[in-house]
Amino acid sequence: MNPAFPLVPEQAASAAGEVDALFLFILGVTGAFAVAIWAALIFLAVRYRRRSPADRPPEIHGSIALELTWTIVPFLLMAVMFVWGAKVYFTMNRPPDDAMTVSVVGKRWMWKLQHPTGQREINELHVPMGRAVRLVITSEDTIHSFFVPAFRIKKDAVPGRYNMAWFRATKAGSYHLFCAEYCGTEHARMGGRVVVMEPEAYQTWLAGGPPAESPVVAGEKLFTELNCITCHRPDSAGRGPVLQGIFGRPVRLASGDTVVADESYLRESILNPAARVVAGYQPVMPAYQTQVSEEQLIALIAYIHSLQVPAEGAPAVPPAP
Ligand code: CUA
């Protein structure tokens, strides 16, 4: 790409090359058709203009070959865009299993980020090069949008839900981070940078900051402080479901439906437990809607994620009633 005339931003993540190739393909196809259609329009308008009031053009009865061509050629081109687009979409929405999770909370007007090891950052995110980073994105107030052009990721930060995005940085350096959703007077300033570091430099950076409490440890404390531990016991003798090993697993609900216990479901079950009750349990849990902040929620969920299945007994998923 010519650096003096960059058609696309710098490519600094694994998905960037394919996103750009697809974009340029679509741009090329639509651009070529736009030019061809306008050229034909102008040429035909001049060539077949009405030359006198008595002009009577001959009747035309269509052409099967022509109609098939203008149906099949665009169809094939669109099919390529669809299949290719779907492939890129799935790649960009399925983080690899070994990805490290960074939580992102948008707030007027800043980005609050936390590493899995507990380090917190504002408007800056340091990440190791070559490692998949999964972002769990939410907002404390209004809708924001987490946008890093060099990584080709843009995901809305929506209050009340978690959105996911992931990237694998391929080039050390510092890249712009923007808020891409108008969120109020300081929207234009709600940005920062993502710093991609060599893995060793990242480790040094992690060790250099003040000692941090990981979300898992913070979550464990909250789990006790909020008395979650009274009902959610590891031995299935509690009044609430056993949480050991529940993360990422399907759970049968009282309604007969099944839901995967991911971040979004756990979040809902903490804030509004009556919404989707696990089969075999009573809706007795109080709602924590006003009692926990976004950061505390993330910590609680990280703690639940860390809980392993106990050595014996206690099925994580209750049997059908
Ligand atoms: Cu936050 Cu715009």
Interacting residues of 263 by C-beta distance below 8 A, sequence separation 6+: 136, 162, 301
Taking CB atoms and a 6 Å cutoff, what residues make up the pocket around ligand 1? 106, 109, 144, 179, 181-183, 187, 190
CB distance 44 to 57 below 8 Å: no
| Rounded mean pLDDT, 127-139 | 94
CB distance 119 to 205 below 8 Å: no
Nearest CA to ligand 1 atom 1: 144
User: What pLDDT digit, counting tens, does each position of 217-272 carry?
Assistant: 888 888 988 888 888 888 877 888 888 888 888 988 988 889 998 888 999 899 88
Tell which atom from ligand 1 comes closest to the C-alpha of 108. 1
pTM of the model: 0.76
As a whole number of Å, the CA-based R_g of the chain is: 27
User: What pLDDT digit, counting tens, does each position of 77-119 carry?
Assistant: 999 999 999 999 999 999 998 999 999 999 999 999 999 888 8
Instruction: Report DSSP letters for 191-246, one per residue.
Output: -EEEEEE-HHHHHHHHHHS-----HHHHHHHHHHHTTHHHHS-TTS-SSS---TT-
CB distance 310 to 234 below 8 Å: yes
Tokens (6 digits) for 59:
């009747």
Tell which atom from ligand 1 comes closest to the C-alpha of 183. 2
Between the CA of 235 and the centroid of ligand 1 the distance, in Å, is 45
Between the CA of 78 and the centroid of ligand 1 the distance, in Å, is 34
Kindly list the distances between the CA atom of residue 9 and the CA atoms of 28, 95, 244, 248, in Å, as whole numbers in the listed order. Answer: 18, 23, 44, 35
CB distance 117 to 212 below 8 Å: yes
Closest-CA residue to 48 (of 36, 60, 61, 31): 60
184: left (phi over 0), alpha (psi -120 to 50) or beta: left
Q: Give the model's confidence band at 320: pLDDT under 50 very low, under 70 low, under 90 confident, else very high.
A: very low
By DSSP bridging, strand 153-157 and strand 144-148 are antiparallel
CA distance 32 to 268: 49
CA distance 172 to 29: 34
Between the CA of 173 and the centroid of ligand 1 the distance, in Å, is 24
